[in-house]
Structure 1
Amino acid sequence: MLTLRWGSATDVGRVRTLNEDSLLAVPGLFVVADGMGGHAAGEVASQLAVAEFARLAEQAAVRAEDVAETVRRANEHILAAGAERGDRHGMGTTLTGISVVGAGQDAQGEQLAVFNVGDSRVYQVTEGQLRQLTVDHSAVQELVDAGRLTAQAARTHPRRNVVTRSLGTDPAPDADVWLVQPVAGDRFLVCSDGLTGELQDSDIAELLGQNPDPQAAADELVRQAVAVGGHDNVTVVVLDVVEVLPDQAAQAAQTAQAAQAETAALPSAESQLPPTVTLPSAELGLPPTAPMPSPVPREVNG
């Protein structure tokens, strides 16, 4: 069982007139969707994606497979909505987030499923160290992976806003899904590229470290991104893992397994008895036992 705290914030920025980002921050599910600039009705696409995940949040138990299936359904709904109205044809959105999922067969307790389609991101902070968990699906990331561009140069490259995967496409994009073991004290950041396009990772790490409260951290991240440029919509969710308790079912299974192993290791009662020695009656000081006479048959007259 996990105890989580979180905060969220979004801002239209200083350039755009419409906020095409959407977010969801409810117990067990944290999502950011960035309706892509230059696409028709990007805000509708991001809202449809988040709405599909809001339905997932109502499930009693969520598996990693459910997350991937929800991404597929969200893509279908965006395509269908685009086909209904000409002004929405071609709309799309990125999608990234974190879902609490049940323990797998080999896992102990609940886990975090990190998922991503596009160039919005999820970061993890462990013991003050920030690292990016997701991999951008973008033209510049492919150049970086191929060794043709540095990560720093990718920040100002002309094709930095070109994504290679998004919702609203046919065939449906493959979502990246990772399972992360939660650790008390860890902090996670879910954000649109309106944040990472304005602030360096070192700036993000510093702001996360300076604001222990997740809501204060979310507010400050958005405020700083808007202050230094605000060229795009900015949306963030900050999630803290406060406590990690063993899942009751998993704990019961562990206890039963340990008890079974302990029982198997104990010697049996019979193995603890001394060996049995049969002594002749003379050694016991007893008179020899005479053989019993055989019974004599007799005739019974009825």
Structure 2
Amino acid sequence: MSVPGGSVRFRSSARSDIGLKRAVNEDSLSADAPVFLVADGMGGHARGDIASRTTVDVFREHIADDAPSTPERVLDAVHSSNDAVRDLSDEGDVGEMIAGTTLAGVAFVDAGAGEGCRWMVFNVGDSRVYSWQDGVLAQVSIDHSAVQELVNAGLIDAERAETHPDRNVITRAIGTDEYVDTDVWLLPADGVRSFLICSDGLTKELDDRAISEILAGCDAARDESGTLDSDSPADLLVAAALDRGGRDNISVVVVESLFTPDGTSAGQSPLA
């Protein structure tokens, strides 16, 4: 893809699995440059699977696939998704039927004002975005959940949060309120950048150490040729989560980018 100041190549792997305990897969994902995202329909609510799929469809309608997007266009897609999912809710004989979904993703954007290209991380709910840089896994997004608020207040630690009875209670979601409050981060897009986007079906089964070991193994497997002969990172992560119990739907997108400035030879690309 040609971008201001150079060109960028993308490589991604994606997989969504119903898991071993659920009757319906309420997750949806998209792995089409320049936007990569995961949406996790709210379990226990009406039409969670339709809500997540609707969100993905709205993004595909709003974001062109042949150029960097913009922060404004991504946020417009978030708000349009919120409106579309709210339209799925209705009043019935048993009260309001609510449709909702989490949303987490990364978008390759032109930040404007001479800032050049950036990776834009965004999230609503407890699906997550991690960076994977130089063998270090770091959570970028912050969960919008009841237990995260307890952690932030210093009332419980991260280890206790993993088993807290309110760990599945989220405090923000697409479709539940008239206005959706979205967290956003703008990160560098130079060189090689990698991100993991996932629903909580992955992080319920695998801790950061286990995820890092799988991603590091994938990196090592393609060090020599630049290609990965075995299963994709997304396949391996989902398979590991299933081996650990697969209690929820599991969705994973792993995306890597290589930015080459104008006048610079790409040489042997790690994204071959």
Does TM, scored on the shorter chain, surpass 0.5? yes
Change over 3 Å in CA distance of 1:7–1:61 after alignment to 2 = closer
Per-residue CA deviations over 1:76-127 (Å, capped at 9, x if unaligned) read 01111223888982010000101111142142x3211110000000000111
1: CA distance, partners of 2:108 / 2:144: 23
Task: Output the aligned Cα RMSD.
Answer: 2.0
Counterparts of 1:86 and 1:172, CA distance in 2: 26
Measured at CA, do residues 152 and 183 of structure 1 come closer, stay the same or move farther in structure 2, by a change above 3 Å?
A: farther
Which secondary structure state, in structure 2, belongs to the residue aligned with residue 71 of structure 1?
helix
Aligned pair in 2 of structure 1 residues 207, 85: CA closer, same or farther (>3 Å)?
A: farther
Is there any run of 5+ residues in structure 2 with no aligned partner, and where? Answer: 1-6, 220-227, 264-272
Q: Which residue of 2 aligns with 1:105?
A: 113
Q: Which runs of 5+ in 1 are unaligned?
A: 249-302
Tell me which of 63, 66, 72 is aligned to 2:73: 66
**Structure of higher CA gyration radius:** 1
| Equivalent position amino acid for 1:98 in 2 | V
Higher strand share: 2
Asked if 2 retains the 8 angstrom alpha-carbon contact of 1:14 and 1:226, the reply is yes
Q: How far apart, CA to CA, are the structure 1 residues paired with 2:262 and 2:100?
A: 38
Q: How does 1:1-302 map to 2 (within 5 A)?
A: 1-58=7-64, 60-83=67-90, 89-107=97-115, 109-212=116-219, 213=228, 216-241=232-257, 243-246=258-261
Cα distance change of structure 1 residues 174 and 221 upon mapping to structure 2, 3 Å threshold? same
Displacement of 1:56 in angstroms is 2.2
CA distance in 2, matches of 1:31, 1:17: 23
Is the 1:68–1:177 contact (alpha carbons within 8 Å) kept by the matching residues of 2? no
Indicate conservation of the 8 Å contact 1:215/1:238, yes or no: no
CA distance in 2, matches of 1:247, 1:44: 43
Aligned equivalents of 2:182 and 2:41: distance in 1? Answer: 17
TM-score by length of 2: 0.85
Does the 8 A contact of 2:71 with 2:111 survive in 1?
no
| Maintained 8 Å contact 1:2/1:110 | no
Contact 1:6-1:215 within 8 A present in 2 as well:
no
Task: Give the conservation status (yes or no) of the 8 Å contact 1:7–1:215.
Answer: no
**CA contact 2:21–2:248 (8 Å) conserved in 1:** yes
- Which protein has the bigger helix share? 1
Distance in 2 between residues matched to 1:167 and 1:227, nearest whole Å: 30
**Which amino acid in 2 is paired with 1:180?**
L
- Equivalent pair of 2:146/2:166 in contact (CA under 8 Å): yes
Assess if the C-alpha contact under 8 Å between 2:34 and 2:68 holds in 1.
no
What is the identity, as a one-letter code, of the residue corresponding to 1:93?
A: T
Q: Give the whole-Å Cα distance in 2 for the aligned partners of 1:240 and 1:147.
A: 35
Separation in 1, partners of 2:231, 2:139: 20
CA contact (8 A) 2:127 2:198 kept: yes
Post-superposition offset of 1:168: 1.1
Distance in 2, matches of 1:145 and 1:12, equals 31
Structure 1 SS opposite 2:255 = strand
Q: How many residues align?
A: 246
With the length of structure 1 as denominator, give the TM-score of the two structures. 0.77
Separation of aligned partners in 1, 2:191 and 2:212: 18
How far apart, in 2, do the equivalents of 1:215 and 1:110 lie?
31
Distance of 1:177 and 1:112 partners within structure 2: 10
1:183/1:205 CA distance change after superposition, 3 Å: farther
Note the alpha carbon deviations across 1:159-185, whole angstroms, 9 max, x for none: 000000001122322111111112433
Cα distance in structure 2, aligned partners of 1:229 and 1:20: 18
Distance 1:132 1:215 in 2: 24
Alignment deviations for residues 235-255 of structure 1 (CA, whole Å, 9 cap, x no partner): 0000112x212379xxxxxxx
